[in-house]
Structure 1
């Protein structure tokens, strides 16, 4: 196969995985399975990108090509399955769960077989990538062994009772469970499900048969229940009678509250919004009844709740009050009960005084006065720095979205600095990291501060990105958001502390293969080489560690090789610290495997005796890298002897 065809094959695989990842309408009953499959395939992208790039500079063995063709074939049924699940009825997915799960098992087995057949020893990819692919294989094998363990038997039993018409007409608890778990609680959801069922009837040739009629009957039962339970639902999206005003004027039509202000269970404006452990917000009384009914999952996401306690959402309560005031509606009043039950109660470790203090600060964050925002963000910054208890309480109260908003909305440099540093301090708590990145979408705002903020704000933004990038999935999101170029700028132009913050962030981000090319294109290598030759910079250790990572990328090898990196690396192997010797040797392993001229250059600089000494007396990592280099020299000499020209001869020709 010509090199161009191999490159095209690798690009086709990349395009297929990206297309699979773009299928985001994962239907409620199979959402977890679809998300897991999509996420695992996305983890293969760095390897496929590396293979594609290597097609331009080295030969890909036919054995690898055959394995990649097998992987390509296995992606087709994976894409078809995810597309199918995203288009069919939610009710159908429950009723046909066994059939659908068999399809997932087959797709998983095909992918596992294809990935297991790739001869990774014949690919010049980093150890990190090999470990990443091995992780995907482990997850796929675990999924194959799990089979149908992830079934929601209660949902299946409820839907079957409705399908077979054996459920009681008045069984509102069952209907509520089904409506919530299938996310059929709004007119939009119900209409979409009706349209999907109609499409399925059309694709059957116009003969719906008994099964489609029964599914339509199930949907009608759910719709009747939802509309009976929420009699004003049909008024959406035009007007909705406020539950707060019914006792005063049952005929008064009021503006519809934003969807985020309404409880996902009752669909009514929330009076006392509280956050459960999944991060979702509900009306306290509604989630209390749900939990007291013995349910252990989040009604909206179906995630298993790690705790049955909840935390008041002070930020949302404040926003609801502001919305009511602007629409001339009496703000909702909370029940007077001062001692709520343990289920659906505030976190017991946070006192009323602390809650009131946080609520006061969040009210200030939403103020139109910059001085209020500045003082509140500053206080939250200090509170979040003190201990993990404060970090949990502040995040659970809904502070993060308000802080994220200040990153881009406020032009006050001090407010930006306080806000980004507050997010940094909150991110120290592991459970807050995902909320900051995905629930609150903080990364673009942090990157904005990194580009345009004051020096202290930029430094703390860099430290925040490092903290968030501890989670592998976040490395991808941060790189995609454009964080790498301003980090490189900070590494070049920042204060000593700023350079340290930028270096740690870049090191962590470049562990992900897909970010290495971005870093090289952002001009990281010249900055690194300057730091290495300016010993007074105090950045030698960090710079060498970063170079050891990005030199594994084809672009990194090319740019580093052209920047006289071989000469600098040999000097570090000769007189550097053990850690610097390790990283310098790692750089040379990458460079010498890419271009044989670097072997010749290193030999000319007298590296052989240094490698022998390192192989005998160095650290474990030094010994491994020295052995790799000595092995490359040995193989190169053998090749040249066969052609009648040794390394010494080639050196004499330079």
Structure 2
């Protein structure tokens, strides 16, 4: 019997097919035909001049002159931010593998521009697979672990962007990225915490990644975030907790960390979104668990839960109603 039936894409095979096509002059499907870019409505517009300028920039990325390389990657960063057409043209010009090579550059600004360019390029869905095929993941994680503050934040944002493709969630989760994201979640500045949080939330939608996050120490970090309201990351922490709470390892870690009283307090004093996520986290913690259910009863959770069924968001009302049903059994 297979332990895991999740399908994983064979990027190695896909890469070999692409190489074979290139060697035998077989054209791959492209949105660019004879210097014209095919738009989503089926029409074409001429991009031949832009293509030539971008190809020249991509060539300069491999220049022996670091000054020229830095100027080129800074320009690519700017172009890749400005339009979807540019993201298509830059990738078509072969920039992605070269940018990946720059992720381990010793020069700080070169690395920052490279990772931000890859982040911008990843916004176009077709480029996500090209980035994965270029073997970018280890280098992105390297930046996440050892880059400058800005580079680490943009590396985390890149992982989130790539994780929007479901098949990438497992690959990213098994690559060691989760530990690096948890470290940024704990030690980053507010923007970095938010970038790490959204990436971890996306990755933890897959059950196997929840266990990895718990092993990386995420519960203690999230509890620390809940106690520091000045950073404005309470909702991000609660959102991740609400996803993790259905996992047995995460549930045990939360109870051990005495997180239930904190969640009940948020039911009373939090914003509408905070109350919603607190209720969403408490429900799986208390469902079919008499001990945890008795704990929230002792803490008087029934009063704020009853209020939530009347004045909360639609999701909060559903979660609060379900919790009250368990309390009244």
TM over 0.5: yes
**Aligned match of 2:130:** 435
1:492 Cα deviation (Å)? Answer: 0.8
1:140-539 map, 5 Å: 263-265=22-24, 282=25, 287=27, 305=29, 309-310=32-33, 345-348=34-37, 349-408=45-104, 410-437=105-132, 439-539=133-233
Higher deviation after alignment, 419-428 or 502-511? 502-511
**Residue aligned with 1:13, SS:** coil
1:613 Cα deviation (Å)? Answer: 2.2
Distance, in Å, in 1 between the alignment partners of 2:95 and 2:327 is 58
Uncovered stretches (5+) of structure 1, i.e. residues with no partner = 1-11, 32-182, 184-258, 266-281, 288-297, 299-304, 311-344, 636-654
Change (3 A) 1:524 1:400: same
Distance, in Å, in 1 between the alignment partners of 2:168 and 2:147 is 22
Over residues 554-606 of structure 1, what are the superposed CA-to-partner deviations in whole Å (9 max), with x where a residue is unaligned? 11101111111110111111121111111101111111126322111111111
**Aligned match of 2:314:** 620
Distance, in Å, in 2 between the alignment partners of 1:539 and 1:13 is 39
**Aligned match of 1:596:** 290
1:350 Cα deviation (Å)? Answer: 4.9
Distance, in Å, in 1 between the alignment partners of 2:128 and 2:119 is 10
Change (3 A) 1:617 1:456: closer
Distance, in Å, in 2 between the alignment partners of 1:424 and 1:375 is 18
Over residues 4-38 of structure 1, what are the superposed CA-to-partner deviations in whole Å (9 max), with x where a residue is unaligned? xxxxxxxx4316x48x9699998xxxx9xxxxxxx
1:37-56 map, 5 Å: none
Distance, in Å, in 1 between the alignment partners of 2:230 and 2:307 is 28
- Contact (CA 8 Å) 2:35, 2:47: kept in 1 or not? no
Distance, in Å, in 1 between the alignment partners of 2:140 and 2:188 is 17
Distance, in Å, in 2 between the alignment partners of 1:369 and 1:415 is 12
**Residue aligned with 1:14, SS:** coil
1:306 Cα deviation (Å)? Answer: 6.7
1:353 Cα deviation (Å)? Answer: 3.2
Distance, in Å, in 2 between the alignment partners of 1:432 and 1:621 is 35
Change (3 A) 1:500 1:585: same
- Contact (CA 8 Å) 2:36, 2:48: kept in 1 or not? no
Distance, in Å, in 2 between the alignment partners of 1:553 and 1:260 is 41
- Contact (CA 8 Å) 1:350, 1:393: kept in 2 or not? no
**Aligned match of 1:213:** none
Uncovered stretches (5+) of structure 2, i.e. residues with no partner = 38-44
Change (3 A) 1:412 1:502: same
In the comparison of the two structures, how many residue pairs are matched? 320
- Contact (CA 8 Å) 1:551, 1:590: kept in 2 or not? yes
- Contact (CA 8 Å) 1:557, 1:594: kept in 2 or not? no
Give TM-score, length-normalised by structure 2: 0.89
Distance, in Å, in 1 between the alignment partners of 2:234 and 2:255 is 18
**Aligned match of 1:566:** 260
Query: Which of structure 1's runs of 4+ aligned residues deviate more than 4 A?
Result: 20-26, 259-263
Looking at both structures, which has the greater relative contact order when contacts are Cα pairs under 8 Å and sequence separation is at least 6? 2
Over residues 508-543 of structure 1, what are the superposed CA-to-partner deviations in whole Å (9 max), with x where a residue is unaligned? 111122211111111111111111111112111111
Change (3 A) 1:472 1:261: closer
1:405 Cα deviation (Å)? Answer: 1.4
Give TM-score, length-normalised by structure 1: 0.46
**CA RMSD of the aligned region, Å?**
2.5
- Contact (CA 8 Å) 2:115, 2:155: kept in 1 or not? yes
**Aligned match of 1:169:** none
Change (3 A) 1:569 1:262: closer
